[in-house]
């Protein structure tokens, strides 16, 4: 009896979305892990798993911003760069002091998230004074600035500590010192400590944060500001504070995602996190459905894997990719399909009520 209650609770009302998202992620993890251990997954796919996890986390963060807060943010990749390169520095610094890889990964991801949050907070001050298209343009610019700064950054570590510079030959390292980030060459000599399991755990944590936030006082306020700014003010919601919260959480998740991504490769260049990547994440979010976390997870997985699957088509693969995007857009915006889904939902509800 109690178990049944728990089950119906998990699928009722506010808990439903969270439960479904969790199930999708956990089932996918179980299947993929079995396939890896039985050797049924090609090397190509295994190498895609961690990047997919990273993009899912970044997309969940962006969905918080675009779907719930209603602000178009085109700088998500910039926050990924901040988080990723912070994580590269931190993990490089701690390589000798903390030999435990899992602990080092956790610390690196946390630091990446926190650093992105700080940048998110600073950027939100000028950005959130704007609305609509203007806000989108400014976030785009900030994303590019963040990426450019990282591209020109040189960081080295030796026994005396960290050395920063924006000009390469300024850094003279002591004995046993290593360069962690060397400007346009990007982060080099990263120890690859990201794992698929860590990626899945990070996805679950970000889902938990986003779902729990949405069904709270602050989450309702975030959606209220999206639906009607003036009405939100007259019921006592501090609009700029609320929007800042959504923006910072989105940036934090992007930072953590960047950390997971960077620590999966031995070297990463900052230009990986350019405008195209921001747009890519936005595409995942829009096709997955604004405010729909499960949809975001599925669309990110499929759309990230698609170009790799189509690799045998060589130059034609981006053409096919573009066509797939257009078709999905058309289908998901089809009025007839929408009304049909709506009818099915109502019917299902009625059936359920009838059986009760």
Partner 1 sequence: MTETKTPVLEIKDLGIDFGGLTAVNDLNMTVNTNEIYGLIGPNGAGKTTVFNMLTKVYQPTRGTITLDGQDMAKLNPVQANKAGIARTFQNIRLFSNMSVLDNVKIGLGNSIQYSTMTAILRLPKYRAEEKKADAEAMDLLEIFGLADKADMSAGNLPYGAQRRLEIARALATHPKLLLLDEPAAGMNPQETQELMDMIRTVRDHFHIAILLIEHDMKLVMGICDRITVLNYGMLLAQGVPSEIQSNPEVIKAYIGE
Residues lying near partner 1 in the complex (CB under 8 A):
13, 208-209, 212-213, 216-221, 223-224, 226-228, 230-239, 245
Nearest approach, Cβ of residue 285 and partner 1 (Å)? 17
Phi-psi map region of 181: left, alpha, beta (phi>0 left; psi -120 to 50 alpha)? beta
Number of other CB atoms surrounding residue 95 within 10 Å: 18
For partner 1, the closer CB: 216 or 339: 216
Nearest approach, Cβ of residue 174 and partner 1 (Å)? 42
For partner 1, the closer CB: 234 or 315: 234
For partner 1, the closer CB: 155 or 222: 222
What does the DSSP assignment read for 135-165?
HHHHHHHHHHHHHHHHHT-EEEEETTEEEEE
For partner 1, the closer CB: 33 or 218: 218
Nearest approach, Cβ of residue 118 and partner 1 (Å)? 17
Nearest approach, Cβ of residue 83 and partner 1 (Å)? 19
For partner 1, the closer CB: 220 or 317: 220
Nearest approach, Cβ of residue 223 and partner 1 (Å)? 6
- Between the alpha carbon of residue 163 and those of residues 81, 160, 263, the distances in Å are 19, 9, 21
Question: How far is it, in rounded angstroms, from Cα 214 to Cα 118?
Answer: 22
């Amino acid at each position: 009896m109690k178990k049944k209650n728990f089950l119906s609770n998990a699928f009722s009302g506010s808990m439903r979305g969270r439960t479904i998202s969790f199930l999708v992620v956990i089932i996918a993890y179980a299947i993929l892990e079995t396939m890896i251990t039985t050797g049924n997954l090609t090397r190509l796919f295994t190498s895609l798993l961690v990047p997919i996890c990273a993009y899912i986390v970044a997309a969940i963060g962006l969905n918080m911003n675009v779907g719930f807060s209603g602000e178009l943010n085109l700088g998500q990749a910039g926050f990924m760069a901040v988080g990723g390169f912070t994580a590269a520095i931190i993990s490089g610094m701690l390589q000798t002091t903390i030999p435990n890889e899992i602990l080092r990964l956790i610390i690196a991801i946390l630091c990446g998230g926190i650093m992105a949050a700080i940048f998110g907070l600073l950027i939100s001050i000028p950005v959130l004074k704007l609305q609509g298209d203007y806000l989108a343009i400014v976030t785009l610019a900030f994303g590019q600035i963040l990426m450019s700064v990282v591209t020109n950054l040189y960081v080295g570590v030796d026994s005396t500590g960290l050395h920063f510079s924006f000009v390469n030959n300024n850094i003279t390292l002591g004995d046993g010192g290593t360069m962690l980030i060397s400007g346009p060459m990007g982060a080099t000599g990263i120890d690859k400590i990201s794992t698929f399991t860590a990626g899945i755990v990070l996805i679950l944590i970000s889902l938990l944060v986003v779902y729990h936030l949405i069904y709270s006082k602050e989450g309702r306020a975030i959606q209220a500001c999206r639906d009607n700014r003036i009405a939100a003010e007259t019921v006592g919601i501090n609009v700029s504070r609320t929007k800042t919260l959504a923006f910072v959480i989105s940036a934090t998740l992007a930072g953590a995602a960047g950390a997971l991504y960077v620590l999966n490769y031995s070297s990463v260049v900052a230009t990986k996190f350019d405008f195209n990547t921001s747009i890519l994440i936005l595409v995942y979010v829009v096709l997955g459905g604004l405010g729909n976390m499960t949809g975001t997870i599925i669309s990110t997985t499929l759309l990230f894997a698609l170009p790799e699957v189509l690799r045998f088509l060589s130059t034609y693969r981006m053409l096919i990719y573009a066509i797939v995007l257009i078709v999905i857009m058309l289908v998901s915006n089809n009025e007839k399909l929408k009304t049909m889904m709506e009818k099915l939902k109502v019917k299902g509800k009625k059936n359920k009520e009838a059986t009760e």
